[in-house]
Structure 1
Amino acid sequence: MDDIMLEISELLQKGRAPLVKEKVQQALENGCSPKDILEQGLLAGMDVIGEKFRNNEVFVPEVLIAARAMNNGIAVLKPHLAAMGVESAGCVILGTVKGDLHDIGKNLVKLMLEGKGFQVVDLGVNVSAEQFVKAAQEHDADIVCCSALLTTTMTEMKSVEQALRDAGLREKVKFMVGGAPVTQAFADSVGADCYTPDAATCAEEALRLCRA
Protein backbone atom coordinates (compact mmCIF):
# COMPACT_ATOMS: atom_id res chain seq x y z
CA MET A 1 0.00 0.00 0.00
CA ASP A 2 2.88 2.37 0.77
CA ASP A 3 4.13 1.94 -2.81
CA ILE A 4 0.92 3.24 -4.33
CA MET A 5 0.91 6.26 -1.97
CA LEU A 6 4.44 7.10 -3.07
CA GLU A 7 3.41 6.67 -6.69
CA ILE A 8 0.45 9.05 -6.23
CA SER A 9 2.73 11.60 -4.54
CA GLU A 10 5.35 11.41 -7.29
CA LEU A 11 2.80 11.59 -10.12
CA LEU A 12 1.23 14.64 -8.47
CA GLN A 13 4.64 16.33 -8.22
CA LYS A 14 5.11 15.76 -11.96
CA GLY A 15 1.62 17.18 -12.63
CA ARG A 16 0.35 13.97 -14.26
CA ALA A 17 -3.32 14.73 -13.58
CA PRO A 18 -4.98 11.82 -15.48
CA LEU A 19 -2.59 9.29 -13.92
CA VAL A 20 -3.14 10.71 -10.43
CA LYS A 21 -6.88 10.24 -10.91
CA GLU A 22 -6.32 6.68 -12.15
CA LYS A 23 -4.00 5.75 -9.25
CA VAL A 24 -6.32 7.23 -6.61
CA GLN A 25 -9.14 5.09 -8.02
CA GLN A 26 -6.87 2.04 -8.02
CA ALA A 27 -5.84 2.70 -4.40
CA LEU A 28 -9.52 2.85 -3.38
CA GLU A 29 -10.21 -0.42 -5.19
CA ASN A 30 -7.23 -1.98 -3.38
CA GLY A 31 -8.87 -1.12 -0.07
CA CYS A 32 -6.74 1.88 0.90
CA SER A 33 -8.41 4.34 3.27
CA PRO A 34 -9.54 7.58 1.56
CA LYS A 35 -7.99 9.50 4.46
CA ASP A 36 -4.63 7.77 3.93
CA ILE A 37 -4.75 8.43 0.18
CA LEU A 38 -5.44 12.10 0.88
CA GLU A 39 -2.76 12.54 3.53
CA GLN A 40 -0.02 10.12 2.45
CA GLY A 41 -0.52 10.51 -1.30
CA LEU A 42 -2.00 13.83 -2.40
CA LEU A 43 -1.11 16.15 0.50
CA ALA A 44 2.33 14.57 0.88
CA GLY A 45 2.99 15.36 -2.79
CA MET A 46 1.88 18.96 -2.39
CA ASP A 47 4.10 19.26 0.70
CA VAL A 48 7.11 18.41 -1.46
CA ILE A 49 6.03 20.95 -4.11
CA GLY A 50 5.54 23.58 -1.39
CA GLU A 51 9.02 22.96 -0.01
CA LYS A 52 10.60 23.07 -3.48
CA PHE A 53 8.71 26.27 -4.31
CA ARG A 54 9.96 27.92 -1.13
CA ASN A 55 13.53 26.90 -2.04
CA ASN A 56 13.15 28.18 -5.63
CA GLU A 57 13.56 24.64 -7.00
CA VAL A 58 10.19 24.84 -8.79
CA PHE A 59 8.22 27.87 -9.92
CA VAL A 60 4.63 29.04 -10.38
CA PRO A 61 3.84 26.91 -13.50
CA GLU A 62 4.93 23.71 -11.73
CA VAL A 63 2.85 24.60 -8.67
CA LEU A 64 -0.21 25.19 -10.85
CA ILE A 65 0.25 21.88 -12.69
CA ALA A 66 0.72 19.96 -9.44
CA ALA A 67 -2.36 21.63 -7.93
CA ARG A 68 -4.44 20.62 -10.94
CA ALA A 69 -3.27 17.02 -10.50
CA MET A 70 -4.17 17.18 -6.80
CA ASN A 71 -7.65 18.48 -7.62
CA ASN A 72 -8.15 15.56 -10.01
CA GLY A 73 -7.32 13.13 -7.22
CA ILE A 74 -9.51 14.94 -4.70
CA ALA A 75 -12.45 14.83 -7.12
CA VAL A 76 -12.27 11.01 -6.96
CA LEU A 77 -11.85 10.98 -3.17
CA LYS A 78 -14.47 13.57 -2.24
CA PRO A 79 -17.55 11.33 -1.95
CA HIS A 80 -15.55 8.75 0.02
CA LEU A 81 -14.11 11.38 2.38
CA ALA A 82 -17.58 12.82 2.97
CA ALA A 83 -18.95 9.36 3.74
CA MET A 84 -16.17 8.85 6.30
CA GLY A 85 -16.77 12.26 7.85
CA VAL A 86 -13.15 13.32 7.27
CA GLU A 87 -12.80 16.93 8.34
CA SER A 88 -10.80 19.62 6.57
CA ALA A 89 -7.82 21.25 8.30
CA GLY A 90 -9.97 24.36 8.76
CA CYS A 91 -11.71 27.14 6.85
CA VAL A 92 -9.78 30.12 5.49
CA ILE A 93 -11.34 33.29 4.08
CA LEU A 94 -8.91 34.68 1.51
CA GLY A 95 -8.86 37.89 -0.48
CA THR A 96 -6.92 40.88 -1.78
CA VAL A 97 -7.87 44.00 0.17
CA LYS A 98 -10.06 46.86 -1.04
CA GLY A 99 -8.48 49.03 -3.71
CA ASP A 100 -6.03 46.32 -4.82
CA LEU A 101 -6.62 44.19 -7.91
CA HIS A 102 -3.53 41.95 -7.74
CA ASP A 103 -4.19 38.23 -7.39
CA ILE A 104 -1.20 36.12 -8.47
CA GLY A 105 0.20 35.84 -4.95
CA LYS A 106 -3.26 35.29 -3.49
CA ASN A 107 -3.98 32.50 -5.96
CA LEU A 108 -0.73 30.76 -5.04
CA VAL A 109 -1.64 31.01 -1.36
CA LYS A 110 -4.99 29.40 -2.15
CA LEU A 111 -3.29 26.45 -3.88
CA MET A 112 -0.87 25.95 -1.00
CA LEU A 113 -3.64 26.15 1.61
CA GLU A 114 -5.73 23.60 -0.31
CA GLY A 115 -2.60 21.47 -0.53
CA LYS A 116 -2.59 21.38 3.29
CA GLY A 117 -6.22 20.26 3.42
CA PHE A 118 -7.91 23.61 4.08
CA GLN A 119 -11.31 24.64 2.76
CA VAL A 120 -10.57 28.01 1.12
CA VAL A 121 -13.25 30.62 0.43
CA ASP A 122 -11.62 32.94 -2.11
CA LEU A 123 -13.34 36.33 -2.18
CA GLY A 124 -11.17 37.55 -5.06
CA VAL A 125 -9.73 41.07 -5.29
CA ASN A 126 -10.85 44.53 -4.08
CA VAL A 127 -12.47 42.97 -0.99
CA SER A 128 -13.85 45.30 1.68
CA ALA A 129 -13.48 44.78 5.42
CA GLU A 130 -17.25 44.17 5.60
CA GLN A 131 -17.03 41.40 2.98
CA PHE A 132 -14.26 39.65 4.93
CA VAL A 133 -16.35 39.79 8.12
CA LYS A 134 -19.54 38.60 6.40
CA ALA A 135 -17.74 35.63 4.84
CA ALA A 136 -16.04 34.74 8.14
CA GLN A 137 -19.45 34.67 9.84
CA GLU A 138 -21.20 32.73 7.06
CA HIS A 139 -18.53 30.04 6.80
CA ASP A 140 -17.60 29.82 10.49
CA ALA A 141 -14.01 30.59 9.49
CA ASP A 142 -10.88 29.74 11.44
CA ILE A 143 -8.62 32.20 9.62
CA VAL A 144 -9.00 35.40 7.59
CA CYS A 145 -6.08 35.88 5.21
CA CYS A 146 -5.48 39.28 3.54
CA SER A 147 -3.16 40.03 0.63
CA ALA A 148 -1.94 43.40 -0.72
CA LEU A 149 0.63 44.33 -3.36
CA LEU A 150 0.31 48.11 -3.23
CA THR A 151 1.72 50.14 -0.34
CA THR A 152 -1.34 52.40 -0.68
CA THR A 153 -3.74 49.53 0.09
CA MET A 154 -1.80 47.93 2.96
CA THR A 155 -3.59 50.15 5.48
CA GLU A 156 -6.84 48.37 4.56
CA MET A 157 -5.53 45.39 6.53
CA LYS A 158 -5.97 47.37 9.74
CA SER A 159 -9.59 48.05 8.71
CA VAL A 160 -10.18 44.32 8.29
CA GLU A 161 -8.67 43.53 11.69
CA GLN A 162 -10.78 46.25 13.33
CA ALA A 163 -13.94 45.05 11.56
CA LEU A 164 -13.32 41.50 12.83
CA ARG A 165 -12.80 42.92 16.32
CA ASP A 166 -15.99 45.03 16.11
CA ALA A 167 -17.94 41.94 15.04
CA GLY A 168 -16.64 40.04 18.09
CA LEU A 169 -14.74 37.53 15.94
CA ARG A 170 -11.13 38.15 16.97
CA GLU A 171 -11.18 35.65 19.83
CA LYS A 172 -12.12 32.87 17.41
CA VAL A 173 -10.69 33.96 14.04
CA LYS A 174 -6.95 34.20 13.38
CA PHE A 175 -5.81 37.07 11.13
CA MET A 176 -3.00 36.55 8.62
CA VAL A 177 -1.45 39.09 6.23
CA GLY A 178 0.95 38.91 3.30
CA GLY A 179 2.07 40.49 0.05
CA ALA A 180 5.26 41.94 -1.40
CA PRO A 181 5.33 45.24 0.58
CA VAL A 182 4.18 43.68 3.87
CA THR A 183 6.73 43.18 6.66
CA GLN A 184 6.65 41.63 10.11
CA ALA A 185 6.76 45.11 11.65
CA PHE A 186 3.74 46.19 9.59
CA ALA A 187 1.88 42.98 10.47
CA ASP A 188 2.51 43.69 14.16
CA SER A 189 1.23 47.26 13.73
CA VAL A 190 -2.13 46.10 12.33
CA GLY A 191 -2.61 43.41 14.98
CA ALA A 192 -2.10 40.38 12.73
CA ASP A 193 -1.56 36.96 14.30
CA CYS A 194 0.82 35.97 11.55
CA TYR A 195 2.79 37.28 8.58
CA THR A 196 4.68 35.10 6.12
CA PRO A 197 6.85 36.12 3.16
CA ASP A 198 5.65 33.40 0.76
CA ALA A 199 2.74 31.14 -0.11
CA ALA A 200 4.24 27.84 1.07
CA THR A 201 5.12 29.23 4.50
CA CYS A 202 1.65 30.77 4.77
CA ALA A 203 0.04 27.34 4.44
CA GLU A 204 2.34 25.84 7.08
CA GLU A 205 1.69 28.68 9.52
CA ALA A 206 -2.07 28.45 8.92
CA LEU A 207 -1.91 24.79 9.88
CA ARG A 208 0.08 25.66 13.00
CA LEU A 209 -2.44 28.36 14.00
CA CYS A 210 -5.37 25.97 13.61
CA ARG A 211 -3.64 23.32 15.73
CA ALA A 212 -2.51 25.73 18.45
Structure 2
Amino acid sequence: MDFSVLTQLNVLLQLMCVIIVAAYLLTRSRIFPEILDGRTTVTTQVILVLFFGALSVYGTISGVEFMGSVVNVRDLGPMLAGLLAGPWVGIGAGLIGAAYRFSMGGITVYSCSVTAVFAGLFGGLIWLYCKKKFAGWKIAVLFAILMEIFHMVLTLLIARPFDAALAIVGRVYIPMILANAIGMFVFAYMVRNFQNEQKIQAERDALIREKET
Protein backbone atom coordinates (compact mmCIF):
# COMPACT_ATOMS: atom_id res chain seq x y z
CA MET A 1 0.00 0.00 0.00
CA ASP A 2 1.58 3.27 -1.04
CA PHE A 3 2.09 6.39 1.03
CA SER A 4 -0.81 8.36 -0.42
CA VAL A 5 -3.38 5.71 0.54
CA LEU A 6 -1.93 5.35 4.03
CA THR A 7 -1.97 9.12 4.44
CA GLN A 8 -5.59 9.42 3.39
CA LEU A 9 -6.71 6.67 5.72
CA ASN A 10 -4.71 7.97 8.67
CA VAL A 11 -5.67 11.63 8.33
CA LEU A 12 -9.32 10.95 7.55
CA LEU A 13 -9.77 8.61 10.52
CA GLN A 14 -8.10 10.98 12.95
CA LEU A 15 -10.02 13.89 11.51
CA MET A 16 -13.38 12.15 11.88
CA CYS A 17 -12.67 11.25 15.51
CA VAL A 18 -11.58 14.77 16.48
CA ILE A 19 -14.32 16.57 14.60
CA ILE A 20 -17.12 14.35 15.83
CA VAL A 21 -16.09 14.61 19.47
CA ALA A 22 -15.29 18.34 19.33
CA ALA A 23 -18.45 19.17 17.41
CA TYR A 24 -20.65 17.20 19.75
CA LEU A 25 -19.17 18.79 22.87
CA LEU A 26 -19.43 22.29 21.47
CA THR A 27 -22.97 21.93 20.13
CA ARG A 28 -24.12 20.62 23.52
CA SER A 29 -22.54 23.46 25.46
CA ARG A 30 -24.59 26.32 26.89
CA ILE A 31 -22.72 28.86 24.77
CA PHE A 32 -23.58 27.32 21.41
CA PRO A 33 -26.99 29.01 20.96
CA GLU A 34 -25.43 32.45 21.38
CA ILE A 35 -22.71 31.48 18.89
CA LEU A 36 -25.25 30.59 16.20
CA ASP A 37 -27.20 33.76 16.95
CA GLY A 38 -24.09 35.85 16.26
CA ARG A 39 -24.11 37.45 19.71
CA THR A 40 -20.99 36.06 21.35
CA THR A 41 -19.54 37.79 24.39
CA VAL A 42 -15.85 38.51 24.76
CA THR A 43 -15.55 35.55 27.13
CA THR A 44 -17.15 33.24 24.60
CA GLN A 45 -14.88 34.54 21.86
CA VAL A 46 -11.81 33.79 23.98
CA ILE A 47 -13.13 30.29 24.65
CA LEU A 48 -13.64 29.73 20.93
CA VAL A 49 -10.16 31.01 20.07
CA LEU A 50 -8.62 28.57 22.53
CA PHE A 51 -10.93 25.71 21.54
CA PHE A 52 -10.36 25.94 17.81
CA GLY A 53 -6.72 26.94 18.29
CA ALA A 54 -6.23 23.68 20.20
CA LEU A 55 -8.05 21.83 17.41
CA SER A 56 -5.65 23.40 14.91
CA VAL A 57 -2.64 22.30 16.97
CA TYR A 58 -4.06 18.80 17.19
CA GLY A 59 -4.56 18.83 13.44
CA THR A 60 -0.79 19.25 13.15
CA ILE A 61 0.13 16.76 15.86
CA SER A 62 -2.09 14.06 14.36
CA GLY A 63 -0.69 14.60 10.88
CA VAL A 64 1.73 12.43 8.95
CA GLU A 65 5.24 13.65 8.20
CA PHE A 66 6.35 13.60 4.57
CA MET A 67 9.53 15.15 3.13
CA GLY A 68 9.81 17.73 5.91
CA SER A 69 6.12 18.62 5.75
CA VAL A 70 3.02 17.37 7.59
CA VAL A 71 -0.14 16.03 5.98
CA ASN A 72 -2.68 17.55 8.34
CA VAL A 73 -6.04 19.11 9.13
CA ARG A 74 -4.59 22.20 10.82
CA ASP A 75 -6.65 24.68 8.82
CA LEU A 76 -9.97 23.17 9.88
CA GLY A 77 -9.91 24.71 13.36
CA PRO A 78 -9.41 28.31 12.18
CA MET A 79 -11.90 27.82 9.34
CA LEU A 80 -14.60 26.70 11.75
CA ALA A 81 -13.75 29.47 14.22
CA GLY A 82 -14.18 32.09 11.53
CA LEU A 83 -17.37 30.56 10.14
CA LEU A 84 -18.93 30.41 13.60
CA ALA A 85 -17.82 33.65 15.25
CA GLY A 86 -16.16 36.01 12.80
CA PRO A 87 -12.72 37.13 11.61
CA TRP A 88 -11.18 38.04 14.97
CA VAL A 89 -11.96 34.64 16.47
CA GLY A 90 -10.82 32.93 13.28
CA ILE A 91 -7.54 34.86 13.19
CA GLY A 92 -6.94 34.16 16.89
CA ALA A 93 -7.37 30.42 16.39
CA GLY A 94 -5.24 30.60 13.26
CA LEU A 95 -2.42 32.33 15.10
CA ILE A 96 -2.33 29.54 17.69
CA GLY A 97 -2.17 26.90 14.98
CA ALA A 98 0.37 28.92 13.01
CA ALA A 99 2.63 29.44 16.03
CA TYR A 100 2.79 25.72 16.71
CA ARG A 101 3.44 24.90 13.05
CA PHE A 102 6.12 27.58 12.85
CA SER A 103 7.94 25.99 15.80
CA MET A 104 8.28 22.76 13.80
CA GLY A 105 10.17 24.30 10.87
CA GLY A 106 10.55 22.53 7.53
CA ILE A 107 10.49 23.77 3.95
CA THR A 108 6.73 24.46 4.04
CA VAL A 109 6.80 26.25 7.39
CA TYR A 110 5.92 29.69 6.03
CA SER A 111 3.13 28.69 3.67
CA CYS A 112 1.57 26.37 6.26
CA SER A 113 1.75 28.95 9.05
CA VAL A 114 0.37 31.78 6.94
CA THR A 115 -2.45 29.64 5.57
CA ALA A 116 -3.73 28.85 9.07
CA VAL A 117 -4.22 32.57 9.73
CA PHE A 118 -5.82 33.16 6.33
CA ALA A 119 -8.19 30.25 6.97
CA GLY A 120 -9.55 32.01 10.04
CA LEU A 121 -9.71 35.38 8.31
CA PHE A 122 -11.53 34.10 5.21
CA GLY A 123 -13.94 32.07 7.34
CA GLY A 124 -14.72 35.21 9.31
CA LEU A 125 -15.34 37.21 6.15
CA ILE A 126 -17.82 34.57 5.00
CA TRP A 127 -19.52 34.84 8.41
CA LEU A 128 -19.86 38.60 7.92
CA TYR A 129 -21.17 38.11 4.38
CA CYS A 130 -23.80 35.69 5.74
CA LYS A 131 -24.95 38.35 8.23
CA LYS A 132 -23.14 36.81 11.21
CA LYS A 133 -24.65 33.39 10.69
CA PHE A 134 -23.11 30.00 9.95
CA ALA A 135 -22.95 29.71 6.17
CA GLY A 136 -24.46 26.22 5.83
CA TRP A 137 -22.84 23.00 4.68
CA LYS A 138 -22.59 23.75 0.94
CA ILE A 139 -20.71 27.02 1.34
CA ALA A 140 -18.67 25.61 4.25
CA VAL A 141 -17.51 22.55 2.32
CA LEU A 142 -16.73 24.61 -0.80
CA PHE A 143 -14.76 27.00 1.38
CA ALA A 144 -12.74 24.11 2.87
CA ILE A 145 -11.90 22.80 -0.61
CA LEU A 146 -10.89 26.21 -1.95
CA MET A 147 -8.89 26.96 1.20
CA GLU A 148 -6.79 23.85 0.76
CA ILE A 149 -6.26 24.62 -2.92
CA PHE A 150 -5.06 28.06 -1.82
CA HIS A 151 -2.77 26.30 0.67
CA MET A 152 -1.23 24.17 -2.08
CA VAL A 153 -0.74 27.14 -4.43
CA LEU A 154 0.87 29.19 -1.66
CA THR A 155 3.23 26.32 -0.91
CA LEU A 156 4.35 26.21 -4.53
CA LEU A 157 4.90 29.97 -4.53
CA ILE A 158 6.80 30.21 -1.25
CA ALA A 159 8.48 26.89 -0.39
CA ARG A 160 11.96 26.27 -1.71
CA PRO A 161 13.50 24.30 -3.31
CA PHE A 162 10.61 24.27 -5.76
CA ASP A 163 11.17 20.66 -6.84
CA ALA A 164 10.68 19.48 -3.26
CA ALA A 165 7.62 21.69 -2.81
CA LEU A 166 6.11 20.28 -6.02
CA ALA A 167 6.78 16.73 -4.88
CA ILE A 168 5.09 17.40 -1.53
CA VAL A 169 2.03 19.07 -3.05
CA GLY A 170 1.72 16.32 -5.64
CA ARG A 171 1.44 13.67 -2.93
CA VAL A 172 -0.57 15.45 -0.21
CA TYR A 173 -3.15 17.63 -1.94
CA ILE A 174 -5.80 14.91 -2.37
CA PRO A 175 -5.83 13.61 1.24
CA MET A 176 -5.68 17.13 2.68
CA ILE A 177 -8.53 18.44 0.55
CA LEU A 178 -10.64 15.37 1.28
CA ALA A 179 -9.90 15.40 5.00
CA ASN A 180 -10.71 19.06 5.50
CA ALA A 181 -13.82 18.89 3.32
CA ILE A 182 -15.20 15.82 5.08
CA GLY A 183 -14.44 17.29 8.48
CA MET A 184 -16.21 20.50 7.52
CA PHE A 185 -19.22 18.52 6.29
CA VAL A 186 -19.47 16.55 9.55
CA PHE A 187 -19.37 19.71 11.63
CA ALA A 188 -21.86 21.53 9.40
CA TYR A 189 -24.19 18.52 9.59
CA MET A 190 -24.11 18.68 13.37
CA VAL A 191 -24.82 22.39 13.29
CA ARG A 192 -27.84 21.76 11.07
CA ASN A 193 -29.10 19.06 13.44
CA PHE A 194 -28.78 21.45 16.36
CA GLN A 195 -30.71 24.13 14.48
CA ASN A 196 -33.45 21.62 13.67
CA GLU A 197 -33.65 20.61 17.32
CA GLN A 198 -33.95 24.25 18.34
CA LYS A 199 -36.71 24.81 15.78
CA ILE A 200 -38.68 21.77 16.95
CA GLN A 201 -38.28 22.82 20.58
CA ALA A 202 -39.49 26.35 19.78
CA GLU A 203 -42.55 24.95 18.01
CA ARG A 204 -43.32 22.71 20.99
CA ASP A 205 -42.98 25.61 23.41
CA ALA A 206 -45.30 27.72 21.25
CA LEU A 207 -47.85 24.92 21.14
CA ILE A 208 -47.72 24.52 24.92
CA ARG A 209 -48.20 28.23 25.46
CA GLU A 210 -51.12 28.19 23.04
CA LYS A 211 -52.80 25.35 24.92
CA GLU A 212 -52.27 27.08 28.26
CA THR A 213 -54.01 30.22 27.01
Larger % of strand: which? 1
Larger % of helix: which? 2
Give me the TM-score of the superposition, normalised by structure 2: 0.27
Give me the TM-score of the superposition, normalised by structure 1: 0.27
Larger RCO (CA under 8 A, 6+ residues apart): 2
